[in-house]
Amino acid sequence: MAFAYTPGLRVADVAVIRKERRLPLKGRVLVSPGDEVAADTVVARTELPGNVKMVNLANILGVPPDDIPALLLKKEGDPLAQDEILAQSKGIFGLFKNTVKSPIAGTFESFNKVTGQAVLREPPSPVTIEAYVKGRIVDVIEDEGVVVETRATFVQGIFGIGGETRGEIRKAVKNPEQELTADLIDKSCEGKILIGGSYVSHATLKKAVASGVKGIVTGGFDDRDLKDFLGFDLGVAITGHENKGITLILTEGFGRMHMARNTFDLLCSREGMQASINGATQIRAGVIRPEVVVPVDESVLGAEKPGEQGAMNVGSPIRVIRAPYFGRLGKVAALPAELQQLETEAKVRVLEVEFADSSRAVVPRANVELIED
Amino acid sequence: MADKEITRILATDCGSTTTKAILIEKREGEYRLITRGEAPTTVEAPAEDVTKGVLNAVGEIEDLMGRQFLTDDKEGVFVGDDPTRGVDIYMSTSSAGGGLQMTVAGVVKSMTGESAQRAALGAGAIVMDVVASNDGRLFHEKVADIRRLRPDMILQSGGIDGGTVDHVVELAQVIRAADPKPRFGVGYKLPVIYAGNKDAADEVSHELADIAALKVVPNIRPVLERENLGPARDTIHELFMEHVMAQAPGYGKLMQWAGHYVGNDWENVPIMPTPGAVGKLIEMVAKAEGIHVMGVDIGGATTDVFSVFDSEGQPVFNRTVSANLGMSYSVSNVLASAGLENVMRWVPFRMDEADLRNRIRNKMIRPTTVPQTLEELIVEQAIAREALRLALVQHRELAVGLKGVAQERTIGDAFDQTQTGATLVNMMQLDLLIGSGGVLSHAPRRSQAAMMLIDSFVPEGVTMLAVDSIFMMPQLGVLSEVLPRAATEVFDKDCLIRLGSCVAPAGQGRDGQQAAALTMHMPDGKTREAVIEFGRMQVIPLGVGEKARTSIRPAKGVDLGEGAGRNIEVDLEGGVVGVVLDGRGRPFVLPAGDSERVKKLQEWAMALTAYPDKFLSLGR
């Protein structure tokens, strides 16, 4: 019997997670290996040189560039306030003086005698990188960033929008079959990560944004709502930079889909704890899936099953991921080797699945995913 | 090990979604396909190793043959001279890197930025971001965006020749600061193409040569009034094939596996990119038969179109890789590019828009699933029609002669249809159209593949239609490099399934009006009269290898290749579908009204017995 392999998303009650945090430019790392960090700890910072502003003093004052140095009131390296005078002409008999004011606050960087241009630079802007998750620094990337390690509950979603955010987990529905509706969201949800059930609508999402909800984790969402929410039709699944005031993570897919019971129970068991979530998704080879990371302390037991990831055998728990049984859970009842004909008349390799209600169905092997116990 | 003839061949193709394995053996003096296996490609977690999918696909062959093909530890393909197990040679093609996703850069967003975008789109890439000196982002924001998006390749343009150098160098500094890393492929540098002001080339090289696989090509905008996209576009193609697709996780291991013994020495067979392998076969067919050929390979992430047409009396081969059009990873991009209405127009039943959108999106997020219901199959084939149509649009724009400036404009202009005169693609001259890829090769009925090819490529006049029987052209392409005879024999006998000739008069008329009349001298000696009516399709049964000498008399204003109203004499060749008479007119326009459109789609599908009768009740 050929070994059957099928992809699956990670849902681990406790796992060791490592996150690389890098500055966009070289800068200074503020922590050391072994340091304990909070999710909002700034681990590295850099300063970006301010923008340059060119001012043609010769043109404005109406004098040759060579004459400008004598008219300058500032020398290279001097700080500048906005509207502070940079240079002033001699005028006529001391009257009718022309002045040039600085259009920005910053520094007088240089003056070019050939072109008559003064180079002004705005103050540098700080750029910082936070740890993203509560944990421990296990590696430092010199002048660039760090690797943070945390022991955490880890749930991968199938698709998400919005970037990194943090908040306290709150169970917002009673069970994984329930829709997260607008009436379940109020001011008390501000700053929270809501765990929904089967579905969230565009209207509910908008209310969540207005209420200051940081993130929603739910089973399903409509593609049409996604288009309305983003304002465009997403072509290739490369997300994470949307700035919509909320991060949305789908655990199952598009449409109304009950969140897998294991996922729901696990997330709800972490209610009240701080979670770091990221909706960034890239569905291509070298895939990136959205994630929920809930750091836990040593008292929380549980370990990731090392098991043979991806192995599918008789008895393996699975979820069907395509119509007509989309979303139904069961276990592998048989793995026949022969190709079988589907309703489409295509002949493919199949498996027999036994659903929770003991009913059975034949589905293509390609249309199931393993569920981690 | 003594030198011996190669008689047992195992070849795999690692697609972005599916890994296919075929077993070829020499039996009774000729090479034939013996069996095939397939498994999902395994470049994603938890496996993240392309060889796992290979082992699974070869494992299927083991199951079906009841013989050992893997090594004892199941960690490789057994190649050796033991007649009871393994094969004499193993080889593979790969496109498992998926589509090509690029970031482009230019000084002015609306000028060199746009030119760079056009060059990338023309090479079939998805443009994820256009970085420009004037795009309003701060330096570090540009850096962060390049890192976040993880492009497969960067095209940097900027400045006309003799123009700005400072801004161009600053763009190079952005790329340098980002220090972009490939999505996978540790130890290889990200390809960066510089196609800007030639005066800045040295400084750009100084900035980027040590952090990227830099390639300097002629400026895409040497002067403001003219674009020169060809060199950059060709280099994108080349680097995509040689570098990006070759970087799927586990690829290094696969390269070690592929090979055979020559004497006692192990000799590797290089892994060939899938489009390169298919292209070799298409060229081989065109050359061998001296005909105009088009081929299309529609995959999960990309759709590749190949053509051989004449330019100034010489056959010219063209290939385009539309890395943004495919049936799994890129399926939502087909929807976004074509528009929902264009996909829906091919669905012969009414369907809820929200439901359709969700189905397509679910296919994108779980790329390896297959349709289990008839309804799902028909929806996938509707999407395929649009992917094929758009890929042909891109190919038309790129397959041009080298005559003038206008021809250097590519896909950026494709959508406003401003100029098409320069294309070499001529559907009336096309002799043979070959379809490959899962949705065409695995269509449960061959008539479905014929319909998809006709609807999307809209051939004119008389065109032979064929499909790759089980989607093995890539493997045969790489085999043709090592054992041309084996590749040719298997291609002729087991790979190319001739569907039959399509006769499609160019011109338009009222529904039911006569477009052409045919007199066919059938192989059994009988004469058969047939009429092509506008708005109708029909099939004349004619088997594989059978030919009917036919005279076709078009109606006034209708063209079949010799000019409007002029008769033609032609040998119509049959196939597994038969001779398809397509009276839907050229240009082909679907009825506008919903109920009329559905009625017509059903009528045409029934004319070709494309689906089980059950499809008539779908959507009710």
Other Cβ atoms closer than 10 A to B234: 14
Sign of the four-CA dihedral B195, B200, B203, B207:
negative
Among candidates A7, A234, A236 on the partner chain, residue whose Cβ is nearest the Cβ of B330? A236
| pLDDT at position B104 over 90 | yes
Q: What is the pLDDT of residues B521-537, one digit of tens each?
A: 999 999 999 999 999 99
Task: Report the gap between the CA of A188 and the closest CA in chain B (Å).
Answer: 32
Per the DSSP assignment, residues forming a β-bridge with B346 are none
As given in the structure block, the two tokens for residue A20 are 């690389």
| Closest residue in A to B146 (Cα–Cα) | A24
Task: Answer whether B365 sits within 8 Å of A51, measured CB to CB.
Answer: no
Task: Answer whether B138 sits within 8 Å of A125, measured CB to CB.
Answer: yes
Q: What is the pLDDT of residues B117-160, one digit of tens each?
A: 888 877 767 788 999 999 988 887 888 888 888 898 999 999 99
Residue A111's pLDDT band, with cuts at 50, 70 and 90, is confident
Q: What is the pLDDT of residues A74-84, one digit of tens each?
A: 998 999 999 99
Contact residues on chain B for A2, CB-CB shorter than 8 A: 37, 39, 56, 59-60, 62-63
Query: B386 at the A interface (CB within 8 A)?
Result: no
Among candidates A25, A227, A344 on the partner chain, residue whose Cβ is nearest the Cβ of B444? A344
Distance CA A115, CA A108 (A): 16
Query: B320 at the A interface (CB within 8 A)?
Result: no
HSE-up (13 A, CA, CB side) for residue A348: 26
Where are the strands (E) in B543-609, listed by range? 547-554, 568-573, 579-582
Q: Which of B216, B235, B138, B226 is nearest to B177 (CA)?
A: B138
> Do B175 and B208 touch, CB atoms closer than 8 A?
yes
A-B CB pairs within 8 A amount to 197
Which parts of A222-279 fold into alpha helices (H)? Answer: 223-230, 261-269
As given in the structure block, the two tokens for residue B157 are 């343009």
> Do A129 and A42 touch, CB atoms closer than 8 A?
yes
Mutation pick from B330, B366, B440, B442 vs chain A, by most beta carbons of A within 10 Å, is B366
Instruction: Report helix, strand and coil shares of chain A as percent, to nearest 5.
Output: 15, 40, 45
> Do B78 and B103 touch, CB atoms closer than 8 A?
no
Q: Which of B87, B40, B51, B91 is nearest to B67 (CA)?
A: B87
Q: Which of B25, B21, B16 is nearest to B92 (CA)?
A: B21
Backbone angles phi, psi at A175, to 5 degrees: -150, 165
Percent residues over pLDDT 90 in chain A: 62
| Closest residue in B to A327 (Cα–Cα) | B362
Distance CA B410, CA B413 (A): 6
**Look-up of token digits 């103050």:** A123
Query: B268 at the A interface (CB within 8 A)?
Result: no
Contact residues on chain A for B612, CB-CB shorter than 8 A: 345
Distance CA B574, CA B557 (A): 27
Task: Answer whether B373 sits within 8 Å of A344, measured CB to CB.
Answer: yes
Task: Answer whether B376 sits within 8 Å of A24, measured CB to CB.
Answer: no
Task: Report the gap between the CA of A207 and the closest CA in chain B (Å).
Answer: 22
Task: Answer whether B368 sits within 8 Å of A366, measured CB to CB.
Answer: yes
> Do A79 and A100 touch, CB atoms closer than 8 A?
no
Residue A171's pLDDT band, with cuts at 50, 70 and 90, is very high
Task: Answer whether B362 sits within 8 Å of A287, measured CB to CB.
Answer: no
Say which residue, B256 or B272, is predicted with more confidence.
Answer: B256
pLDDT of residue B148: 82
| Closest residue in B to A282 (Cα–Cα) | B149
Per the DSSP assignment, residues forming a β-bridge with A42 are A130
Task: Answer whether A344 sits within 8 Å of B442, measured CB to CB.
Answer: no
Q: What is the pLDDT of residues B418-458, one digit of tens each?
A: 333 468 899 999 999 999 998 999 999 999 999 999 999 99
- What is the dihedral angle through the alpha carbons of B169, B173, B176, B182, rounded to the nearest 10 degrees? -80
Average pLDDT over every residue of B33-59: 87
| pLDDT at position B568 over 70 | yes
Distance CA A50, CA B102 (A): 29
Q: Which of A53, A52, A54, A50 is nearest to A123 (CA)?
A: A50
Which residues between 130 and 169 in chain B have a beta carbon less than 8 angstroms from any beta carbon of chain A? 138-141, 143-145, 147-150
Task: Report the gap between the CA of B112 and the closest CA in chain A (Å).
Answer: 23
Task: Answer whether B445 sits within 8 Å of A309, measured CB to CB.
Answer: no
Query: B46 at the A interface (CB within 8 A)?
Result: yes
Which parts of B483-593 fold into alpha helices (H)? Answer: 484-490
Q: Which of B324, B385, B329 is nearest to B610 (CA)?
A: B385
Average pLDDT over every residue of A339-353: 93
Task: Answer whether A25 sits within 8 Å of B140, measured CB to CB.
Answer: yes
Q: What is the pLDDT of residues B14-28, one digit of tens each?
A: 988 789 999 999 999
pLDDT of residue A169: 98
> Do B17 and B52 touch, CB atoms closer than 8 A?
no
As given in the structure block, the two tokens for residue A338 are 């022969």
The helix/strand/coil state of B342 is helix
Q: Which of B427, B442, B94, B227 is nearest to A339 (CA)?
A: B442
As given in the structure block, the two tokens for residue A82 are 């906005």
Q: How far is CA A232 from CA A209, A223, A228, A299, in A?
A: 19, 11, 7, 46
Which residues between 244 and 273 in chain A have a beta carbon less than 8 angstroms from any beta carbon of chain B? 253-255
Q: What is the pLDDT of residues B288-326, one digit of tens each?
A: 889 999 999 998 888 989 999 988 788 888 888 887 899
Q: Which of A193, A161, A131 is nearest to A290 (CA)?
A: A161
Average pLDDT score over chain B: 88
| pLDDT at position B178 over 90 | no
Task: Answer whether A127 sits within 8 Å of B99, measured CB to CB.
Answer: no
Q: What is the DSSP letter of B246?
A: G
Contact residues on chain B for A361, CB-CB shorter than 8 A: none
Other Cβ atoms closer than 10 A to B394: 24
Spell out the SS3 assignment of B201-241. Answer: HHHHHHHHCCCCEEEECCCCCCECCECCCHHHHHHHHHHHH
Query: B364 at the A interface (CB within 8 A)?
Result: yes
Task: Report the gap between the CA of B338 and the closest CA in chain A (Å).
Answer: 10
HSE-up (13 A, CA, CB side) for residue B35: 15
| Closest residue in B to A336 (Cα–Cα) | B63
Pairing of strands B461-468, B496-504: antiparallel
Among candidates A5, A326, A344 on the partner chain, residue whose Cβ is nearest the Cβ of B377? A344
Task: Report the gap between the CA of B184 and the closest CA in chain A (Å).
Answer: 6
> Do B551 and B518 touch, CB atoms closer than 8 A?
yes
Residue B408's pLDDT band, with cuts at 50, 70 and 90, is very low
Instruction: Report helix, strand and coil shares of chain B as percent, to nearest 5.
Output: 35, 25, 35
Distance CA A333, CA B283 (A): 48
Backbone angles phi, psi at B433, to 5 degrees: -120, 120
| Closest residue in B to A368 (Cα–Cα) | B369
pLDDT of residue A193: 98
